[in-house]
Structure 1
Amino acid sequence: MSDFQTITVDAEMATSDDAQRPYFSVVMCCNRDEGYIHQAIQSVLAQSFSLFEFVIVLNACTDELYASVAAITDPRIVLLRTEIGQLAFNLNLGVNSAKGEYIVRFDSDDICHVDRLAESYNLIRTDPAIDIVAGSCRIIDAAGTVIGARALREQNWRSRIIYSNPFVHPAIAIRRDLILRARGYSGGFQSEDYDLWIRLAKRTDVKCIFTSFPMIDYRVSDFQSKGSRQAYAEVASYFLREFLIKPGFRRFFSVLLSISKVFFKSKK
């Protein structure tokens, strides 16, 4: 990943009175290891930006997985364990336990760019009112070979949200208190982030910045639930909820579109 330009962090942060408080809390949940979790963890610990903590929530996992992660001795790691397998619950636990101003999402099969946090910090410094930093990503296969990219650009994410998820969830940084004010993640089992974006899209005060910087290498493998029928069905239920709360043509269209994806776009 050395083919990207190194980001320089403003030195003022390192000399501030609260320099010991993490600016970012990286939150990662995992219930099984497909062989990538230790690479994922090391990519976070190797960040060029130092003021962060790493909240790892292991849920419904084996004792072996817990022991292998617990054996990593790094003071920045906050290790939690639950018996509940639902991702939304465990994300809420991680966010609630976090001390950083911004939550940085990350998944246990992906790889963080070494300057991910530095880039996010510098973008926020340009406008402290930013609530969400929406990062781009490179796409890798199970072996780690780059097979594509998703480059995000400035867009009206509120209008696009009925067509597709406008964010790469494990590549975002979001203000912690914004998640708390939204009452956390409340989605189903596979698409909890989409539900959060739908709810936040109704708020005109949420400020988001998109960047083409590849925050992560996003891994595509057979183990993912992305694109499953259940995931599409859950998204359809979110749009149906919004339509029932406040009927309108646009919301009715979003219901029809999301239902069509359940039958014509999802994995069988």
Structure 2
Amino acid sequence: MPLFSVIVPLYNKEKSIQNTLKSALDQTFTDFEIIIINDGSTDQSESKALAINDSRIRLFSTENQGVSAARNYGIAKASGTLIAFLDADDYWFPNHLKQLSELYEMFPQCGLYCTNYERFYNPNKIIKPTYIAIPHHPWKGIVNDFFQSSYIDRIAWTSAVAVPKTVIDTAGNFKTTITLGAGEDTDLWLRIALRFDVAFDNEISARHMLDAENRVSLASTLKRSFAKLDEFKEEEKNNPSLKKYLDLHRIFFAIRHKLAGDVKTFNFYMQSVDRSNIPFKTKIILAMPTFLIRKLYAFKKYLEQKNILISIYD
């Protein structure tokens, strides 16, 4: 039985899947299996994956049901103690699984193991995340407040985490009612972090490929089913950092729906937000008419092409 089962959901990633798999196979820590779930791809993704011959790879094909169902199917097929996730357009540096294995050895009681990562837009724009209350020097340990540390950037990013399979059995799988990258991973990490400690290694070991093809984040807002976040209402009453963390997500979801013209869903999210948790810049944006927000959003995208990043959430 391997220590890691690496779950790779695959949907129309013919240009990136081989590079992604190669990054997994090149790990210095070798006690793992790779489970690829071809989620009804309509391009050459499956043949590209099958062209890589390695006994550690198993591939299963299903009808297209979405990334949550694909990951859940992979978990059901996994034989490893720890479940690691790798999206088919992301990349691991050679020490990634070694770092996760060391975290597991040092902190076996944890429910979530995370390593640091970078966001790759192009060779001239590679961004390192910003965390609250995490040391800048090389550090690995238990995160004191998972929610507070994730106000700006997420401590847990799907292609840089591992979860004991027994923890998933306790916390539950990815929700298939949340679709197209609209918070299904955030929802699961929330459920785990409320029950278990989270360990983190701040050395970068993975790369979030934001130049990749067919990213679900580019899907139309109105075609996506977002996490409602209302199941955490009781916990957030007595947990101020959780409340702020949830409110920041609600604000993000609300603005996306306002831009899409869905006022009803915008109001659904905003009605639960404590105004003291709304950043100053975001209050200004929320007060603007929709047409002006759209213009600002387009300008923000233009600046991103020039390698200038602006956030309204800090």
Deviation for aligned residue 1:233:
6.7
> Using the alignment, how far apart are the partners of 1:138 and 1:162 within structure 2?
17
* Selected match of 2:99 from 119, 125, 136: 119
Question: Residue in 1 aligned with 2:194?
Answer: 202
Q: Is the 8 A contact 2:17 2:45 kept in 1?
A: no
Deviation for aligned residue 1:232:
9.1
Aligned residues: percent identity? 20
Question: Residue in 1 aligned with 2:45?
Answer: 65
- More displaced stretch, 42-51 vs 154-163: 154-163
Alignment of 1:67-216 (within 5 A): 67-141=47-121, 143=122, 147-150=126-129, 153=134, 154-158=143-147, 165-186=154-175, 188-189=178-179, 190=181, 191-203=183-195, 206-216=196-206
Partner of 2:74, secondary structure, is helix
Q: Is the 8 A contact 1:24 1:53 kept in 2?
A: yes
Question: Residue in 2 aligned with 1:264?
Answer: 255
Q: Is the 8 A contact 1:232 1:262 kept in 2?
A: no
Q: Which has the higher contact order (CA 8 A, sep 6+)?
A: 1
Deviation for aligned residue 1:160:
5.7
1:45-96 deviation digits (Å, cap 9, x = unpaired): 1111111001111101026321221222110001111103311111111111
The structure richer in helix per residue is 2
Question: Residue in 1 aligned with 2:281?
Answer: none
Question: Residue in 2 aligned with 1:17?
Answer: none
Going from structure 1 to structure 2, the CA distance change for 1:171 and 1:91 (only over 3 Å counts) comes to: same
Deviation for aligned residue 1:260:
2.9
Question: Residue in 1 aligned with 2:310?
Answer: none
Partner of 1:68, secondary structure, is helix
Question: Aligned AA for 2:173?
Answer: G
> Using the alignment, how far apart are the partners of 2:144 and 2:222 within structure 1?
28
Q: Is the 8 A contact 1:136 1:151 kept in 2?
A: no
TM-score, normalisation: structure 2: 0.67
Q: Is the 8 A contact 2:12 2:42 kept in 1?
A: yes
Going from structure 1 to structure 2, the CA distance change for 1:26 and 1:197 (only over 3 Å counts) comes to: same
Gaps of 5+ in 2: 135-142, 261-314
Q: Is the 8 A contact 2:20 2:89 kept in 1?
A: yes
Question: Aligned AA for 1:260?
Answer: I
1:138-175 deviation digits (Å, cap 9, x = unpaired): 2212x555511126533401456688744111100111
Q: Is the 8 A contact 2:41 2:64 kept in 1?
A: no
Q: Tell me how large the CA RMSD over aligned residues is.
A: 3.0
Going from structure 1 to structure 2, the CA distance change for 1:70 and 1:232 (only over 3 Å counts) comes to: closer
